[in-house]
Each structure stands twice: as structure tokens, then as C-alpha cells.
């Protein structure tokens, strides 16, 4: 199992760290359901992400979709270069700004 973490760092503030990829996104998605449910908005700091792949991009897009479905604004801070590059290649970068 690849080491990844998701934690609440304040009111409506969350932090993701480690490797967000194929081996970790399912667990992160499950953890997020409980953590995000009581938040009125979701601000996610990704500065501690050490590596991300296309599954990581899919995860942050899923969080956007879930936020929209639940009428919550989702914002990303400190998006790693790897995720920005994948988003540009996939032509979804406008969704993350």
C-alpha cells in the first residue's frame, strides 16, 4: 500500500500528503466522504503531495464533482506540478482554477 494521508487542518481546511495514485486513491476517497460531510466548503492543500499520477487527477476531479453535487465549493491550494501537467494534457485544467 502506498502511503498517503488526508486530514482536517481547520474549519473547511484539509490537507493531502504522500503519493496520490492508483494504490491510494480508493482509500483517500473513502476517507474524504466522512471528513468532507460536515464541511460547508472544502479547501484542500496539496503541498505535501510527493507524487501524483492520473488516478490522483481523477480523485481531485471526483472531489469537485462531489462538491458540486452537494452544493459545496471545492478549492485546491498548492497543486503539484505533476497534477497541473496532467490536467493540461487532459484538457481539464480550467476546472481546477
Q: What are 9-59's pLDDT values in tens digits?
A: 999 999 999 999 999 999 999 999 999 999 999 999 999 999 999 999 999
Write out the three cell numbers for 34.
466522512
| CA neighbor of 16 nearest in space, from 58, 44, 54 | 44
Inform me whether the pLDDT recorded for 1 exceeds 50: no
pLDDT digits (tens, 9 = 90+) for 79-90: 999 999 999 999
Tell me what pLDDT residue 60 has: 97
Tell me what pLDDT residue 97 has: 79
Domains in the chain and their CATH numbers? 4-96 (3.30.750.24)
Q: pTM here?
A: 0.93
Amino acid at each position: 500500500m502506498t502511503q498517503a494521508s488526508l486530514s482536517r487542518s481547520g474549519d473547511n481546511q484539509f490537507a493531502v500528503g504522500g503519493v496520490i495514485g492508483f494504490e491510494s486513491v480508493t482509500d483517500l476517497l473513502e476517507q474524504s466522504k466522512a471528513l468532507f460531510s460536515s464541511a460547508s466548503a472544502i479547501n484542500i492543500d496539496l503541498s505535501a503531495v510527493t507524487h501524483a499520477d492520473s488516478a490522483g487527477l481523477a480523485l481531485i476531479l471526483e472531489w469537485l464533482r462531489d462538491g458540486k453535487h452537494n452544493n459545496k465549493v471545492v478549492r485546491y491550494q498548492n497543486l503539484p506540478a505533476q497534477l497541473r501537467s496532467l490536467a493540461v494534457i487532459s484538457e481539464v485544467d480550467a476546472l481546477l482554477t
